[in-house]
Amino acid sequence: MKRRIGNHGLVRLPVLASAFFGLTICGCAFFALGLVPLLAETPPKAPSTIPAPDDRYKADILVIVAHPDDDTGISNYLAKAVLDEGKRAAVIFSTKGNSGGNTVGMEQGKTLSDVREMEGRRALAVLGITNVWFLRGTDTPTQDVLHSLETLGHGEALEEVVRLVRLTRPEVIITWLPAYVAGENHGDHQASGVVATEAYDMAGDPTAFPEQVSAPRAHADISNYGEGLHTWQAKKLYYISDASHPEFLQHHGPTYLATGVSRARGVPISTLNKSMWDAYATQSDDDIDRYVKMPEYLVLAKSLAKSPLEADVLDGIGLAPAAYDPTPGYRVFVRPPLSMELGGPWAFYEQFYRAHALTSVAGLVKPQAALGGDHSLWVPLLLHNDSAVSHDVALHATLPEGWTAGAQDVIYHLAPRSTYPVQLVLNTPTPLPAVKNAPPVELHWVLSDGGKEAGVVNLTVYLEYNGVPQ
């Protein structure tokens, strides 16, 4: 078949199709040949990266205490570390200090807690510390750590402190000594030390609050879950104390004095301490000068760093993260068939020290107490019968002259495999010796079974009162 194409005459269709197909093949070939070097020169796609932990919150030192103003108990060291050495510090308060008096205004309750939160932030700003967190605990006027842990909300507080340890990734944690001491002995101080110790031991465990270390499904998106933190093991744990007789703390860690001069500010450290206390106007009293000048005795509780006991807090701290260091946890303590011990917080601490491998603290504080404001003394005793038969046991008290606690010899019936909690309230003579710094007195109890000694408890009591109900 023939057809006319335009004005150029007749063209056979098969010829035209073959020519078009040939041009197409040739064009594709030339295009492909030209594309090969372009493909070879295309750079490889960059690998996906995971954002690093937020370095704005990285801390060399994390202080975990109870109330706004407790930070002044470690301010000698913080002034040196933060101002003169350029170290990063962060602070966690387990309460906002919503209880107690107000020396500058009528504000109380929740309003007072808001005021004291601001006081705490302003006081720490004197040292350039701005990473500060407040938990939701209630300031509890007690010396019993178990009472304070109850009002703090122990589990919730622990979860939050573990979270903040993982966020701040501290090399060192400093907190209150978990022990019953003569002195202010605030139960909230002790509770913050308990929770800080637990967090030190748990933050490196991926099974502890695992939702915190779960990778988020889409970290840059909303409607997400999984907190995206990483486990963290701090390298040292230190304790400070509010004991009124702190001599027993010496030589168990470094000491920091207020008599030195801050190189960065050119003023005595005591002057910086005074500026911090000035921020705590609601808690001002006539004894502030004594607090401003007090030395700080730190107790080294745990360490993964190789450094002398009394060396600087950050001595021996390397750059590499520490591997998780698990603790043994609670183990049943095998007692004799009949035994006796101090109960309440004293008994708790005996278990706590073993569970957290606090060997350096276990024998640090001999059993001691101070009087309540009404010249009374609460002493809990635990009478243990771990045998398979019942026993009638006698408890005999040896007390100082003039002290009373009901009958000094009492018979208790102990059922098999049971513990009898004895709650004693001792009354002291009135008036007490009007001697400043009078020596302490010794209290003594003996448990006997059929005339045979089965247990002994000794308690040293200081004849003083520091304002917090026992």
Instruction: Quick: pLDDT tens for 433-447.
Output: 656 678 899 999 999
- Predicted local distance difference test score (pLDDT) of residue 219: 83
Same domain, 61 and 167: yes
Using the predicted structure, report yes or no on whether residue 114 has a pLDDT greater than 70.
yes
Same domain, 299 and 342: no
Q: Which of 66, 57, 63 is nearest to 99 (CA)?
A: 66
Using the predicted structure, report yes or no on whether residue 466 has a pLDDT greater than 80.
no
- Predicted local distance difference test score (pLDDT) of residue 47: 76
In a domain, 205, yes or no: yes
- Predicted local distance difference test score (pLDDT) of residue 41: 65
Q: Supply the CATH number for residue 256's domain.
A: 3.40.50.10320
In a domain, 37, yes or no: no
- Predicted local distance difference test score (pLDDT) of residue 40: 54
Confidence tier at 209 by pLDDT (50, 70, 90): very high
In a domain, 39, yes or no: no
Same domain, 254 and 342: no
Average pLDDT over residues 50-59: 95
Helix (H, G, I), strand (E, B) or coil at 208: coil
Give residue 278's domain range: 55-217+226-303
Lowest-pLDDT range, 42-51, 67-76, 132-141, 202-211? 42-51
pLDDT tens digits, 4-39:
444 444 444 443 344 444 444 444 444 444 444 545
In a domain, 311, yes or no: no
DSSP-derived letter for residue 273 is H
Considering just the CA atoms, what is the radius of gyration of the chain in Å?
34
pLDDT tens digits, 225-281:
899 999 999 999 999 999 999 999 999 999 999 999 999 999 999 999 999 999 999
Same domain, 262 and 363: no
DSSP percent split of the chain into helix, strand, coil, nearest 5? 30, 25, 45
**Who has greater pLDDT, 308 or 14?**
308
**Of the residues 287, 303, 319, which one is the last residue of a structural domain?**
303
Average pLDDT over residues 353-367: 95
Q: Supply the CATH number for residue 356's domain.
A: 2.60.40.10
**Of the residues 303, 328, 351, which one is the last residue of a structural domain?**
303
Overall domain count for the chain: 2
CB burial of residue 276 (10 Å; 0-12, 13-18, 19+): buried
Same domain, 275 and 362: no
Using the predicted structure, report yes or no on whether residue 393 has a pLDDT greater than 70.
yes
Average pLDDT over residues 211-215: 95
In a domain, 158, yes or no: yes
Same domain, 117 and 264: yes
**Of the residues 278, 303, 328, which one is the last residue of a structural domain?**
303
Same domain, 262 and 352: no
Same domain, 296 and 346: no
Same domain, 405 and 276: no
Same domain, 193 and 113: yes
In a domain, 369, yes or no: yes
Same domain, 288 and 369: no
Q: Which of 180, 178, 141, 177 is nearest to 379 (CA)?
A: 180
In a domain, 10, yes or no: no
Same domain, 298 and 363: no
Mean pLDDT of the chain: 89
In a domain, 328, yes or no: no
